[in-house]
Amino acid sequence: MKKLLKIVLACSLTLLCFSCYYDNLDDLPSDDVVIDPGEDVTFSDSILPIFESYNCTECHNGGSLNPDLRPENAYSSLVPTYVVAGNSNTSLLYTKLAGGHRNMTSLDLALIKEWIDRGAENN
């Protein structure tokens, strides 16, 4: 009886540990998304709407959680502290979002990466 109980307990723990694991491949960052070089990627028309669509200002609203992503303060809060113009790989904004913060779509991540790599202008 004790042996059966141990086997059932071991199987149950194994199933419990591995049954909730899954990958949602649609939400993983992908290098497959390429932004057309002729497409305008501007802060006001491309980046701010991303922050709005994910309700980033619920937490990043000028209170205790930086950067302040409210539209009137977002650019000055991000550049140069969180964004290294021309280098998304060393920009804290991109690396944190690509690491899974807010589970952004590949297209949104690609737009942010492209904006940073193109110089992160306030346009």
CA pair distance 97, 105, nearest whole angstrom: 10
pTM passes above 0.85: no
Helices (H), the chain: 2-19, 48-53, 74-78, 92-98, 106-117
pLDDT per residue as tens digits for the range 11-33 = 665 655 555 443 443 444 445 78
Cβ atoms of 97 and 104 closer than 8 Å? yes
pLDDT at position 67 is 96
Q: What percent of the chain has pLDDT over 90?
A: 67
Nearest to 88 by CA among 112, 104, 122, 105: 112
Domains of the chain by residue range: 27-117
- Report whether pLDDT(101) > 90: no
Tell me the average pLDDT across 97-115: 93
With vertex at residue 35, the alpha carbon angle to CA 66 and CA 121, rounded to the nearest 5 degrees, is 45
CA pair distance 14, 105, nearest whole angstrom: 32
Tell me the average pLDDT across 62-87: 95
CA pair distance 58, 36, nearest whole angstrom: 31
CA 90 from chain center: how many Å? 14
